[in-house]
Structure 1
Amino acid sequence: MSLRILVLTNLFPTRWDPHRGAFNRQQFERLGQRHEVEVITAVPLPERLRGRGAGEPLKIAGLRLRTFVFVYLPRVARSLHALFWAVSLLAQQGWHLLRGRYDCVLASWAYPDAAAAGWLARRMGWPYVVKVHGSDLNVQAEDPARRPQIRKALVEARAVVAVSRALADKAVALGVAPARVHVVYNGVDHARFSPGSQPEARRRLDLPGDVPVLLYVGNLKASKGCMDLLEAFAPVAEARPGAQLVFVGAGECRDALRARADELGLGAAVRLVGATPHADLPDWFRSATLLCLPSHNEGVPNVVLEAMACGIPVVATRVGGIPEVVPGEAGLLVPVRDRDALAEALVEAIALPWDTGRILEHARQFSWERNLQSLSDILEAAAADSPLPTSLPT
Structure 2
Amino acid sequence: MNRPRVLMLPKWYPNRYDDQDGDFVARHVAAIAPNAEVAVLFATVARGPQRPLLTCEAELTGPVPTLRYYYRARLTGLPLLDKLLKLLLYTISMHQGYRRLHRHWGGPPQLVHVHVLLRTGLWAGWLRLTRGLPYVVTEHWTRYLPANAHRIGRLRRRLTQLVVRHAATLHTVSDNLQQALADLGIRNSRTVLLPNVVDTDLFRPAAPAERDAPGCPAGYLLHVAAFNEQAKNLSGLLRVVARLRLSRPTVRLRVAGYGPAEAQLRELAASLGLLEDGTVAFLGKLPPAQVAEEMRRAACLVLFSNYENLPCVLIEAQASGLPAVATRVGGVPELLPEDGSCGLLVPPRDEAALAVSLTTLLDNPGLVSAEVLRQRAVQQFSTAAVGRQFAEVYAQVLGR
**Shorter-chain TM-score tier:** 0.7 to 0.9
CA RMSD of the aligned region, Å? 3.0
2:363 is matched by which residue type in structure 1? A
State which of 213, 218, 224 in structure 2 corresponds to 1:217.
224
Superposed, which structure 2 residues align to 1:273-352 within 5 Å? 273-327=283-337, 328-352=340-364
1:38 is matched by which residue type in structure 2? A
Residue 84 to residue 30, structure 1, CA distance change in 2 (3 Å): farther
C-alpha distance in 2, partners of 1:277/1:6? 27
Equivalent residue, structure 2, for 1:165: 175
Q: CA shift at 1:140, angstroms? A: 5.6
State which of 140, 161, 165 in structure 2 corresponds to 1:133.
140
C-alpha distance in 1, partners of 2:284/2:371? 31
**1:256 lines up with 2:268 in the alignment:** no
- Deviation digits for residues 168-213 of structure 1, max 9, x if unmatched? 2233334455641100012322222211136634636x2123xx41
C-alpha distance in 1, partners of 2:295/2:185? 40
C-alpha distance in 1, partners of 2:210/2:159? 51
Q: CA shift at 1:322, angstroms? A: 0.9
Residue 120 to residue 59, structure 1, CA distance change in 2 (3 Å): closer
Equivalent residue, structure 1, for 2:247: 239
Q: Is the 8 A contact 1:187 1:369 kept in 2?
A: no
1:347 is matched by which residue type in structure 2? T
2:346 is matched by which residue type in structure 1? V
**252-261 or 223-232, larger mean C-alpha shift:** 223-232
Superposed, which structure 2 residues align to 1:150-189 within 5 Å? 150-175=160-185, 179-189=189-199
Residue 264 to residue 171, structure 1, CA distance change in 2 (3 Å): same
Other structure's SS at 1:182 match: strand
The percentage of counterpart residues that share the same residue type is 28
C-alpha distance in 1, partners of 2:346/2:59? 39
**1:359 lines up with 2:367 in the alignment:** no
Equivalent residue, structure 2, for 1:369: 384
Which TM-score applies when normalising by structure 1?
A: 0.84
**1:194 lines up with 2:217 in the alignment:** no
C-alpha distance in 1, partners of 2:48/2:325? 32
Other structure's SS at 1:348 match: helix
Q: Is the 8 A contact 2:136 2:167 kept in 1?
A: yes
Equivalent residue, structure 1, for 2:111: 104
Q: CA shift at 1:257, angstroms? A: 1.4
C-alpha distance in 2, partners of 1:9/1:72? 19
Q: Is the 8 A contact 1:115 1:152 kept in 2?
A: no
Residue 6 to residue 48, structure 1, CA distance change in 2 (3 Å): farther
Q: CA shift at 1:70, angstroms? A: 5.6
Other structure's SS at 2:17 match: coil
Q: How many residues align?
A: 374
Q: CA shift at 1:48, angstroms? A: 6.8
Q: CA shift at 1:135, angstroms? A: 0.6
Unpaired runs of at least 5, structure 1 = 50-55, 386-394
Q: CA shift at 1:60, angstroms? A: 8.3
2:226 is matched by which residue type in structure 1? N
Residue 77 to residue 321, structure 1, CA distance change in 2 (3 Å): farther
Q: Is the 8 A contact 1:248 1:272 kept in 2?
A: yes
Other structure's SS at 1:67 match: strand
Superposed, which structure 2 residues align to 1:28-107 within 5 Å? 28-46=29-47, 61-69=62-70, 86-98=87-99, 100=102, 101-107=108-114
Residue 35 to residue 303, structure 1, CA distance change in 2 (3 Å): same
Q: Is the 8 A contact 2:160 2:186 kept in 1?
A: no
- Deviation digits for residues 4-31 of structure 1, max 9, x if unmatched? 2111113321222112233222221232
C-alpha distance in 2, partners of 1:175/1:218? 30
Equivalent residue, structure 2, for 1:3: 4
Residue 71 to residue 149, structure 1, CA distance change in 2 (3 Å): farther
- Deviation digits for residues 321-367 of structure 1, max 9, x if unmatched? 11011121111111223333223322222223323233333333322
C-alpha distance in 1, partners of 2:126/2:149? 17
Q: Is the 8 A contact 1:86 1:116 kept in 2?
A: no
C-alpha distance in 2, partners of 1:13/1:64? 14
